[in-house]
Amino acid sequence: MPRKLLTGLTALVLLLIAPWTALPPAAGQLQFVDKNEGEPRFRPAPVQPPVAIPAPQVQPQIQPLGQPQRLPQIDLGGGAGRSPEIDDMLVRGERLEGERRWGEALSLYEEGLRSHPKDLHLEQHFALSRMHYDLGRRYNDSSFRDSLRTLSLIDALDLYGEVLTKINSHYVHAPNWDVITDFGIRSFEAALNDPVFVERNLTGVPQAQIERFLRELRPQLAMRNPDRRVDSRQEARDLAMVAAQLANRQLGLSEPAVVLEFVSGATTSLDPYSTYLTAGQLNEVYSQIEGNFVGLGVELKATEGALQIVKVITGSPAERGGVHAGDRIIAVDGRRTSEMSTDQAANMLQGKEGTTVEVTAIAPGQESRTLRIRREQIEVPSIDGARIVDRTYGVAYLKLTCFQKTTSRDLDAALWKLHGDGMRSLIIDLRGNPGGLLTTSVDVADKFVEKGTIVSTRGRSPQEDYNYTAHPAGTWRVPLVVLIDGESASASEIFAGAIRDHGRGTIVGTRSYGKGSVQGIFPLNLANSGLRLTTAKFYSPQGRAYSQVGVEPDLLVQQTAKPADGGELVAGASDPVLDAGLREARRQTARR
């Protein structure tokens, strides 16, 4: 049975329908609500991608089969209706593409699409960067490389057919097979232009021969499809087979390698959150549901020629090894990060449990230091910093970092501890929380909402339509303040939206991310791989959509700077959002 998730492109946020809950008709699926693509808590790049990929759906222009892949030319003088901001972003993005820093390019285009969701140039470059980024991740995954060695052409085509069948049955919108096939061809074309793919599959093949094949690919495919349209799953499958056979005859290329590019392209065509999952990536998803993963225990973002440490998990091997938030990693195992892409550097930090990696880190204004860190199983805390921050008014605070399987239990323990410490009002900090399991977000909201709808889901199939409701038993009636920002997404928005619509508390901060779709995780029958597929949209108790809208705060407060990770919670200029939340919590307490 498939599992369902609500996810985004960059960070993993899941909504789990557990077997012991009252299941909606689509029982057995695992549901995610997250703005990430199921990336490990140690993120290789600031994207979705994790997998952060933008909420707007990319609607690319379809290219006829007879035309090679081309991106639109950038009008540096400023195209009609296009702002200088976009032109500047495209110039920076093309520089990153030229240096093959796909993770950074993807993040840049994501940022641009959030402000300019309909810009064709940004959409095209975003799609191409995602293709190269995903390709790099796949080929860095030993499980994917193993599948290439073991799959036959028929196996690969059956895998592609299964993916197309699930898209046809479960995707939130009716599939356009022409677009899906076009993206499969684009993904293959991008692969033939990617050194990672070429070095793995085409060693010894002259570049001129690859370029000639690229020029002739679409015309040759058009000869097999005179109508130049693809109207069914079978036609899409047949065209992938023809492309694989042509590449095998003319380049000596492995046929399964070609078909798997069509698999990846098919999911890329749908939206930023749907994706093909290798066996390794699928296992990462399941590990994150449990709240653990193998790694160093850091969160990263790519910077110019280095990897910056955003957060170090308490008790992790990275913390014990002397890594601190704000450090920049400038070398991995003796190789300088400036001499490789940030994606490659991040990949070098990953590995099997028990192995070690040598990192050279530098803090602002200090000398570099070389550290040797062991990769271990990391337990990810979903509750951080639970404490009483104002004893006079009894104001309690806790940061909810994600919505994973253990979150509801962890929150219960934190609430009872705070209650015993004198809690009279509560601030819940959702800033930077990318989302998580659907039912976890419902369970958390149910602790504070006494009755009524918490969230509803709606999809193309009636089995995706379900209303999640609150229950009176066990409701905490403590006054609430919820802090949000532009990185509060998916499951965070379900919680904040429920609190807002039921008038249960005050929302403080800035508008949330605006990711309002549900993704299902579907294990596939071949290669131990899986599919993350958008199956529904979700809506607030009052029927408001979240996609590209988000949750508007009751009190709008801009964040100028965040407190240092693990630092003291002190109201003031360093954290005006928390300062405003404290004032509101005191006001609510005084009114009781």
Catalytic positions: 490, 501, 515
Q: Which DSSP letter does residue 36 get?
A: B
Identify whether the C-beta of residue 266 lies closer than 8 Å to the C-beta of residue 164: yes
Look at residues 347, 180, 380 and name the one whose alpha carbon lies nearest to residue 280.
347
Contact call for residues 286 and 271 (beta carbons, < 8 A)? no
Rounded to an integer, what distance in angstroms lies between the CA atom of residue 77 and that of residue 74?
A: 9
Rounded to whole angstroms, how far apart are CA atoms 22 and 585? 34
Q: What is the DSSP letter of 572?
A: B
Burial of residue 558, with CB atoms counted within 10 A of its CB: 0-12 exposed, 13-18 middle, 19 or more buried:
exposed
The Cα–Cα gap between 311 and 412 comes to 25
Q: In 3-state terms, what secondary structure has residue 453?
A: strand
Locate 30 and state its tokens: 């695992």
Q: What's the 3-state SS for 348-385? A: HHCCCCCCEEEEEEECCCCCCEEEEEECEEEECCCEEE
**End-to-end Cα spacing for the chain:** 49
In angstroms, what CA-CA distances link 540 with 36, 445, 507, 518?
Answer: 20, 12, 15, 13
Q: Which token pair is 315?
A: 């008790």
Q: How many angstroms separate the CA atoms of 407 and 261, rounded?
A: 37
275-277 and 530-539 beta bridge pairing: antiparallel
**Cα separation of 19 and 185, whole Å?**
40
d(CA 228, CA 177): 12
CA distance 183 to 185: 5
Q: Can you tell me whether residue 537 is helix, strand or coil?
A: strand
> Which residues, in sequence order, are CB contacts of 448 under 8 Å at separation 6+?
475, 476, 478, 480, 499, 504, 505
**CA 495, 501, 505 angle in degrees (round to 5)?**
70
